[in-house]
């Protein structure tokens, strides 16, 4: 799927204005389970060990790798829970993105579609048609899945699983970054979150934001695939790691990549591009674009001598990209150089800010 080009005049930088926070709810925050619970609970309950599992569950990684003879199967899974419109289309693209971060083209997709009570045939047709369109655009076969009406749901949920096939060990992971690698960001912050909020909260937003801006914001759905840029980067050379910044946004994605690679990082806030449509949507809900779900952007850790070449290759494909920082040897050293020139600790999101917006 082609990515829309973004000219330098259409993007801006954006200082962090709203603190990292979680909804005031009992128990765990909405969204991803905190890393400490993953490590202390989830990752300690993984059944038996099998030698075919080359990469199993680990913090910061986008999927699993199963070795079968001379091939490595890249397998990923992600649900779509915070969106209603285009949910089937998102399910395919979000999971395809995770496969692509391994430098591998996605080939197969499976879905588990959970529908609220009183769902009609038309809703099933809509979700299925969306999945079909997205899969055809990316050359993916929908190979199986499950569909049911589930008691107690307020909105549909689609859990997706995508797979790609690589020659054995011919892939990268989010944990492959090296000290002094340059960190490249494609496109802009908050792409998916902007599209979801502009679509699912249009009635609220149109009271404060002009219709032409909302129309552009809803079209951000067309920028969510990163398959093209991931494959372009890997073919250019010098890529050590890639990661798809989903929940937790750009800041969360950077931390996940640093966690997976056991490295520190220095980020230049002024290099992170944000579209004006995203700024207006985020200002309305008083949320931070850098902590807003950002599928459609891609984080690439590249050898220093290849970084400019990768940015140039992406530009030739009409994909905006910029070097936003570098990885450091000391994993405790994670800093952000603000637009004002001041250095501060790199904020780690508690919960994706889309949940804060959806509750308002």
What would the pLDDT profile of 179-214 be if each residue is shown by its tens digit? 999 999 999 999 999 999 999 999 999 999 999 999
**Run of H or E residues at 183:** strand 182-186
What pLDDT is recorded for position 20?
60
Q: Where in the chain is the domain with CATH 3.90.650.10?
A: 8-24+174-358
Where in the chain do CATH 3.30.1330.10 domains reside?
63-167
Q: For residue 267, what are the β-bridge partners?
A: 325, 336
- The pLDDT of residue 29: 82
- Residue with tokens 């925050």, as numbered in its chain: 29
> Given strand 264-268, what is the order of strands in its sheet?
239-243, 299-302, 182-186, 321-328, 264-268, 334-337, 343-345
* Domain at 63-167: CATH architecture: 2-Layer Sandwich (3.30)
Task: Assess whether pLDDT exceeds 50 at residue 42.
Answer: yes
Query: d(Cα 38, Cα 265) in Å, to the nearest integer?
Result: 23
How many other CB atoms sit within 10 Å of the CB of residue 279? 17
The CATH superfamily of 8-24+174-358 is PurM-like C-terminal domain (3.90.650.10)
Task: In whole angstroms, give the CA distance from residue 134 to residue 129.
Answer: 9
Confidence label for 84 from pLDDT (cuts 50, 70 and 90): confident
Q: DSSP letter for 291, please.
A: G
The model's confidence at residue 83, banded by pLDDT at 50, 70 and 90, is confident
pTM for the structure as a whole: 0.89
Instruction: Calculate what percentage of the chain has a pLDDT beyond 70.
Output: 93
């Amino acid at each position: 799927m082609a990515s829309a080009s973004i000219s330098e005049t259409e993007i801006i930088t954006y200082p962090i204005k709203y603190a990292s926070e979680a909804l005031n709810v009992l128990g765990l925050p909405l969204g991803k389970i905190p890393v400490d619970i993953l490590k202390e609970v989830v990752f300690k309950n993984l059944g038996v060990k099998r030698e075919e599992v080359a990469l199993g569950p680990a913090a910061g990684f986008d999927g699993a790798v199963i070795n079968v003879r001379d091939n490595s199967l890249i397998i990923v899974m992600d649900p779509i829970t915070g969106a209603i419109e285009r949910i089937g289309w998102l399910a395919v693209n979000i999971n395809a993105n995770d496969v692509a971060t391994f430098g591998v083209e996605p080939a197969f997709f499976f879905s588990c579609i959970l529908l609220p009570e009183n769902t009609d045939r038309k809703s099933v047709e809509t979700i299925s048609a969306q999945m079909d369109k997205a899969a055809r655009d990316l050359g993916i076969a929908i190979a199986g899945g499950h569909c049911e009406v589930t008691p107690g749901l307020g909105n549909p949920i689609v859990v997706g699983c995508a797979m790609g096939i690589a020659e054995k060990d011919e892939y990268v992971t989010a944990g492959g970054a090296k000290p002094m690698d340059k960190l490249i960001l494609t496109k802009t912050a908050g792409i998916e979150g902007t599209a979801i909020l502009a679509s699912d909260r249009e009635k609220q937003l149109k009271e404060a934001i002009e219709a032409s801006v909302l129309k552009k914001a809803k079209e951000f759905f067309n920028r969510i695939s990163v398959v093209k840029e991931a494959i372009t980067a890997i073919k250019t050379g010098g890529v050590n790691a890639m990661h798809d910044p989903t929940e937790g946004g750009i800041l969360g994605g950077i931390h996940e990549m640093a966690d997976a690679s056991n490295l520190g990082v220095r980020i230049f806030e002024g290099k992170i591009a944000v579209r004006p449509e995203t700024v207006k949507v985020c200002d309305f809900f008083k949320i931070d674009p850098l902590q807003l779900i950002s599928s459609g952007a891609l984080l690439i850790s590249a050898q220093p001598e290849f970084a400019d070449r990768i940015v140039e290759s992406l530009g030739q494909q009409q994909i905006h990209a910029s070097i936003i920082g570098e990885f450091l040897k000391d994993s405790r050293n994670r800093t952000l150089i603000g637009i004002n020139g001041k250095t501060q600790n790199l904020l780690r999101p508690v919960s994706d800010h889309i949940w804060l917006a959806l509750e308002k």
